[in-house]
């Protein structure tokens, strides 16, 4: 399992252990990287209904419920997103994608060229139709990279998983920035 080191004792239970019905096998390599989002959401809602702070009868219970509810929310949002899930898994084995490293341009020259070309296309975009076409292209890149991340974790190739996760982070950041695009407005991407 990814979260078996002594550090995990300090940060509490693995997010995977909070959803025993959906994620029975735990994180990769024991369980798959892919998550059934419908099952995860259903289990999340059931668990939330049992730990909602409004159900508490005492102040001590309310504090415990708030803590449990907050942890469930964080776990759910992390596991529901392939990028967040990958970042979480890498962090749990000490291979986290540090913020300062993630802000740098990718080391892979081909990826660097692809990122710059895409950013230039977005900068030169003149219409909603062009933006929609670029959005479709970015979604295709995201889907392809998510598959690479999944395969990497499922085969326990953590170096490849980290590199694919960094690539995925670029595509997701570009997608989010493109959502803010408006004709004539300067394009800004936040890493």
pLDDT attached to residue 105: 55
Domain boundaries, the chain: 15-80, 100-180
> Taking the model in full, what pTM does it have?
0.83
Average of per-residue pLDDT across 91-106: 71
For 71-89, the pLDDT digits (tens) are 999 999 999 999 999 999 9
- State the SS3 of 154-175: HCCCHHHHHHHHHHHHHHHHHH
Residues in the chain: 191
Q: What is the mean pLDDT of residues 155-182?
A: 92
For 191, half-sphere exposure in the C-beta direction (CA atoms, 13 angstrom radius) is: 15
pLDDT of residue 1: 39
Phi, psi for residue 96 in degrees, rounded to 5: -60, 150
Per-residue pLDDT at 6 exceeds 50: no
pLDDT of residue 36: 97
What pLDDT does 184 receive?
73
Higher pLDDT pick, 107 / 158: 158
Please check whether residue 26 is in contact with residue 4, taking contact to mean a CB–CB distance below 8 angstroms. no
pLDDT of residue 10: 34
- CATH topology for the 100-180 domain: Monooxygenase (1.20.1280)
Give the model confidence (pLDDT) of 24-61 as tens digits. Answer: 999 998 999 999 999 999 999 999 998 888 787 888 88
Going by C-alpha positions, the residue among 149, 151, 14 that lies closest to residue 93 is 14
Domain 15-80 carries which CATH code?
A: 1.10.287.110
What are 142-150's contacts with CB under 8 Å, separation 24+? 142/168, 142/171, 142/172, 142/175, 145/171, 146/82, 149/33, 149/82, 149/86, 150/32, 150/33, 150/34, 150/82
User: Are the CB atoms for 125 and 131 separated by under 8 Å?
Assistant: yes
């Amino acid at each position: 399992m990814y979260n078996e080191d002594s550090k995990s004792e300090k940060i509490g239970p693995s997010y995977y252990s909070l959803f025993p019905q959906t994620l029975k096998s735990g994180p990769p390599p024991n369980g798959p990287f892919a998550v059934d989002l419908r099952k995860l959401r259903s289990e999340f809602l059931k668990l939330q209904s049992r730990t909602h702070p409004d159900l508490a009868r005492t102040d001590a219970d309310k504090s415990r419920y708030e803590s449990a509810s907050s942890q469930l929310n964080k776990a759910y949002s992390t596991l529901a997103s392939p990028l967040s899930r990958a970042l979480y898994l890498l962090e749990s084995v000490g291979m986290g994608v540090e913020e300062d490293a993630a802000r740098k341009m990718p080391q892979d020259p081909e990826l660097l060229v692809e990122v710059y070309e895409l950013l230039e296309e977005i900068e030169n975009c003149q219409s909603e139709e062009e933006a929609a076409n670029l959005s479709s292209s970015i979604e295709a890149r995201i889907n392809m990279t998510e598959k690479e991340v999944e395969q990497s974790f499922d085969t326990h190739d953590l170096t490849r998983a980290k590199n694919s996760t960094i690539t995925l982070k670029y595509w997701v950041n570009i997608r989010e920035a493109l959502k803010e695009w408006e004709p004539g407005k300067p394009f800004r991407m936040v890493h």
